[in-house]
Amino acid sequence: MRVRLAGICATDLELVKGYYPYTGVPGHEFVGEIVDAPQAPERIGERVVGEINAVCGACGTCHRGHPRHCEKRTVLGIVNRNGAFAEFVTLPLANLLRVSDHVPDEAAVFTEPLAAALEIRSQVPIGPTDRVLVIGAGRLGQLIARSLVPSGARIEAVARHDRHRDLLRAAGVQVIAEDELPSRAVDVAVEATGSASGFALAQRAVRPRGTIVLKSTYAGRLEIDAAPIVVDEITIVGSRCGDFAPALQMLEAGQIDPRDLIDSERPLGEALAAFEQAGRPGALKILLRP
């Protein structure tokens, strides 16, 4: 595929800090155009996004119906597979989903993180009677909050930057200050900061028998006080990738338009400066265009 547009996320930033022993081209959020497909020449010219886990289909985990945890998988720009911060990138045809003509590149490039946000609702039942708290309102936190609004639940979010707060309010999400956080009151707390302080806030806010969803990259060890988790019977859910099809459908239907999360777009030759910009406090989505 020829890469048309690629996005920098928090995982990319952590990779260059040594979060995971990866060597290669980073980048896993992209929209591209198929330029070579020997086994399916009819697909040449398609504008596509790509599921990032390339799987074997034969191991025990794949047979159990969990291919995203394939024992032999490679992961685009993360595990043993060169990623999308390049002019061209390769993935198996089975990983590629066609993008509707109604979805511009600047929205399609958000398919991977939006799919990750939507994964929460496939793991945790959330309905109109629930109260949900999202901790962290950066690149992923914004998408998580927006993706939860259609559930009808009461969605609140903790945000530290004025622009983040304004974006949340515009999406119908109630913004709450850290010193106003409820104690033992929310049904689901989604931790999207990847920090110990974020987890502490989630643990403080969730009610007995509630659920904490860990939805961000943790670069180091997380020390937790396990006693309240046991006493209050808290469920902790790890959440990673999601299916692309529902995300694409939501983008095509206009249920979510993530383009207001774009801070800037730079040519690939300015990738190092783009990484520096993406790492600044409060930065949202920085895009690279080869």
290 residues of the chain, pLDDT tens digit each: 999 999 999 999 999 888 778 899 999 999 999 999 999 999 999 999 999 999 999 999 999 999 999 999 999 999 999 999 999 999 999 999 999 999 999 999 999 999 999 999 999 999 999 999 999 999 999 999 999 999 999 999 999 999 999 999 999 999 999 888 989 999 999 999 988 999 999 999 999 999 999 998 777 788 888 999 999 999 999 999 999 999 999 999 999 999 999 999 999 999 999 999 999 999 999 999 99
The helix/strand/coil state of 159 is coil
CB 88 within 8 A of CB 3: yes
Residues of the chain with CATH 3.90.180.10: 2-109+257-289
State the pTM of this model: 0.95
pLDDT in tens, 30-76: 999 999 999 999 999 999 999 999 999 999 999 999 999 999 999 99
Residues of the chain with CATH 3.40.50.720: 117-238
Sheet with 206-214, side-by-side order of all strands = 174-176, 154-158, 131-135, 186-191, 206-214, 235-238
pLDDT at 102: 96
Nearest to 89 by CA among 9, 33, 157, 141: 33
Nearest to 134 by CA among 120, 103, 118, 155: 155
CATH architecture of 117-238: 3-Layer(aba) Sandwich (3.40)
CB 192 within 8 A of CB 136: yes
pLDDT at 65: 93
pLDDT at 20: 79
Q: CATH 3.40.630.30: does it fit domain 2-109+257-289?
A: no
194: left (phi over 0), alpha (psi -120 to 50) or beta: left
